[in-house]
């Protein structure tokens, strides 16, 4: 099999972009699997399960997925990114089929947890692969495309369900069979296409496809002890963990918040949320490209965080007006938050990977795995506590104040991120020539 061999030369041009596209495909398929929101009412009715029970099962799957992400990062560094990704992609297809056969709440809960664990291990290798196949001149853009995989899967799942549910008699299991088929096809494509870089190639820190520098690789341990004592590592991880309070709130409760706080219809709230995410996705590529051209990361993280805090503060002030608030102003502020957040993610991912590779190029998996574990802890806390705070206070203002404080903490913590040693600046036409998008 091709994934058992190593690339002894750094891929360039179209070949490198194809490899990046396949990595994004792997994340997309993993995110597509288990997207049950479009068929959740059908599933609950069929299994006789309450929404509260489903929430507890989802929380448990988040915990196992977070632990799997950390374990997967360790395995990706020790065994190889592709050597872990390929078999676990096949296992995820099997886990989808296992869930499709669920005939009881217990069976469904077990299947959900197994799928979350398998996907967590599989996805852990995708971020290090983005780093491996992307020079610094295009890295923020590549990670911006990587983020499209998970968000795009939400839209795709809704579209597939809308187009196929009627064909299969409105059976929720039909969607899982489709997911399993997609996972199987994707696993075959990944197995035939992706290959790990040879260690000596992976350890080169590349500015462009043709220009690289080496770092002094520490002898002996390659574990997280190399990172835990470094301020750059913790400032990155804590900053993104703070930001995930707002991101998780928007992802899980945006529509509900708009309906309950401003009295808009469910349809209007869904449209406003869709515009929020679409503007975030589109502008993320613009900001990532600017970050790559200027080779500046912290400026975008801090600037985006400050702008998000300003828009969120205005949005929070508007929440006090409730149904009397202007819908157009709500939309403008909502989209403003999404655009501001778009400036942060790609540059943050690029900056994090660059700091880690300056410490040791072989511990990207461990670094992203620990970051994944801590980020998911904040997401889990958000998903569990937000409804309780809203219920206790009778509205969303108190919880969104917490989200605003977390966003401010993101901007402050991002400002403490040190510069990257070994970075060489290029701007203008030279950067334009070497900065290539991921697909």
Cβ-proximal residues to 169 (8 Å cutoff; 6+ apart), any chain:
none
Task: Give the strand pairing for 212-213 and 205-206.
Answer: antiparallel
Per-residue pLDDT reduced to its tens digit, 319-331: 988 888 899 999 9
Task: Give the strand pairing for 6-7 and 212-213.
Answer: unpaired
Contact 87, 138 (CB under 8 A): no
H runs (alpha helix) in 79-207: 81-100, 105-123, 126-132, 139-164, 172-193, 199-202
Contact 146, 21 (CB under 8 A): no
pLDDT of residue 437: 43
d(CA 237, CA 330): 31
Per-residue pLDDT reduced to its tens digit, 142-163: 999 998 887 778 778 878 888 8
pLDDT of residue 354: 93
H runs (alpha helix) in 194-230: 199-202, 225-228
pLDDT of residue 429: 39
pLDDT of residue 219: 66
Query: Taking the model in full, what pTM does it have?
Result: 0.87
pLDDT of residue 438: 41
pLDDT of residue 153: 81
- Give me the domains of the chain, ranges plus CATH numbers: 2-213 (1.20.1250.20), 227-419 (1.20.1250.20)
Parts of the chain with a pLDDT under 50: 424-439
pLDDT of residue 433: 39
Q: Pick from 253, 258, 26, 44: which is nearest to 145 by CA?
A: 26
pLDDT of residue 430: 41
């Amino acid at each position: 099999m091709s994934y058992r061999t190593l690339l002894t030369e750094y891929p360039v041009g179209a070949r490198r972009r194809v490899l990046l596209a396949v990595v994004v495909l792997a994340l997309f398929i993993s995110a597509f699997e288990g997207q049950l929101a479009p068929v959740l009412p059908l599933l609950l009715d069929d299994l006789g399960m309450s929404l509260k029970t489903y929430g507890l099962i989802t929380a448990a799957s988040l915990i196992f997925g977070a632990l799997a992400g950390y374990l997967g990062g360790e395995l990706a560094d020790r065994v190889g990114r592709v050597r872990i990704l390929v078999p676990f992609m096949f296992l995820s297809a099997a886990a989808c089929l296992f869930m499709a056969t669920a005939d009881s709440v217990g069976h469904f809960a077990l299947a959900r947890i197994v799928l979350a664990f398998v996907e967590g291990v599989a996805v852990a290798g995708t971020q290090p692969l983005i780093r491996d196949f992307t020079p610094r001149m295009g890295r923020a853009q590549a990670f911006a495309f990587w983020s499209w995989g998970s968000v795009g899967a939400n839209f795709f799942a809704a579209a597939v369900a809308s187009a196929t549910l009627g064909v299969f008699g409105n059976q929720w299991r039909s969607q899982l069979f489709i997911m399993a088929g997609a996972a199987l096809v994707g696993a075959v494509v990944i197995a035939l296409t992706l290959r790990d870089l040879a260690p000596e190639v992976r350890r080169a820190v590349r500015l462009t496809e043709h220009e690289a520098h080496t770092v002094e690789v520490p002898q002996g341990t390659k574990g997280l002890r190399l990172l835990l004592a470094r301020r750059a590592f913790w400032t990155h991880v804590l900053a993104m963990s703070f930001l995930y309070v707002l991101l998780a709130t928007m992802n899980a409760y945006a529509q509900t918040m708009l309906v309950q706080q401003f009295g808009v219809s469910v349809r209007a709230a869904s449209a406003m949320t869709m515009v929020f995410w679409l503007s975030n996705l589109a502008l993320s590529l613009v900001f990532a490209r600017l970050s790559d051209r200027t080779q500046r990361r912290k400026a975008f993280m801090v600037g985006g965080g400050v702008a998000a805090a300003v828009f969120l503060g205005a949005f929070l002030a508007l929440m006090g007006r409730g149904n009397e608030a202007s819908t157009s102003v709500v939309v403008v502020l909502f989209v403003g938050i999404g655009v501001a957040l778009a400036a942060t993610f790609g540059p943050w991912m690029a900056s994090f990977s660059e700091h880690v590779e300056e410490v040791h190029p072989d511990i990207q998996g461990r670094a992203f795995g620990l970051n994944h574990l801590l980020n998911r802890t904040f997401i889990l806390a958000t998903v569990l506590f937000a409804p309780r705070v809203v219920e206790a206070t009778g509205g969303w203002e108190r919880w969104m104040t917490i989200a605003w404080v977390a966003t401010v903490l993101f901007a402050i913590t991002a400002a403490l991120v040190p510069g990257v040693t070994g970075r060489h600046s290029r701007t203008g036409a030279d950067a334009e020539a070497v900065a290539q998008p991921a697909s």
